[in-house]
Amino acid sequence: MRAGPRFRVLAGLALILATQVPRDASAAAISLQEILLRAKPATVLVVSEVSSEVVLDCGSGELKVAPSPSRETGTGWFVDSNGWVVTNGHVVQPAHQPPAWVANEQAQRAVLTACVSDELAKQGIAPGQRPDLEDQLRRAAMARAYPNARVELKPSIFILMANGFRLPAKVEKYSPPVSARTGAGVMSGRERQDR
CA 125 to chain CA mean position, Å: 32
Whether the pTM exceeds 0.75: the reply is: no
Element housing 54 (H / E): strand 43-57
- Most confident range (mean pLDDT) of 26-35, 60-69, 112-121, 181-190 is 60-69
Measured CA to CA, the distance from residue 177 to residue 89 in angstroms comes to 5
Q: Is residue 13 part of a domain?
A: no
In the chain, how long is the greatest CA-to-CA distance? 79
Q: Is residue 24 part of a domain?
A: no
Beta bridge partners of 50: 70, 155
Q: Is residue 193 part of a domain?
A: no
Q: Is residue 28 part of a domain?
A: no
Q: Is residue 160 part of a domain?
A: yes
Q: Is residue 82 part of a domain?
A: yes
* C-beta separation of 63 from 114 below 8 A: yes
pLDDT of residue 130: 87
Strands 85-86 and 70-78: antiparallel
pLDDT of residue 28: 59
pLDDT range class, residue 17, cuts 50, 70, 90: very low
User: Does position 159 have pLDDT exceeding 60, yes or no?
Assistant: yes
Measured CA to CA, the distance from residue 74 to residue 6 in angstroms comes to 11
pLDDT of residue 189: 47
| Residue 126 φ/ψ, nearest 5 degrees | -80, 145
Instruction: Return the closest-CA partner of residue 154 out of 109, 108, 95.
Output: 95
Q: Is residue 16 part of a domain?
A: no
Q: Is residue 10 part of a domain?
A: no
What percent of the chain lies above the pLDDT cut of 90? 28
pLDDT of residue 183: 52
Measured CA to CA, the distance from residue 63 to residue 56 in angstroms comes to 6
Tens digits of per-residue pLDDT, 58-107? 888 899 999 999 999 998 988 888 889 999 888 999 898 898 899 999 99
Overall domain count for the chain: 1
Question: Residue 101 is part of which domain span?
Answer: 42-182
Tens digits of per-residue pLDDT, 1-11? 233 444 344 44
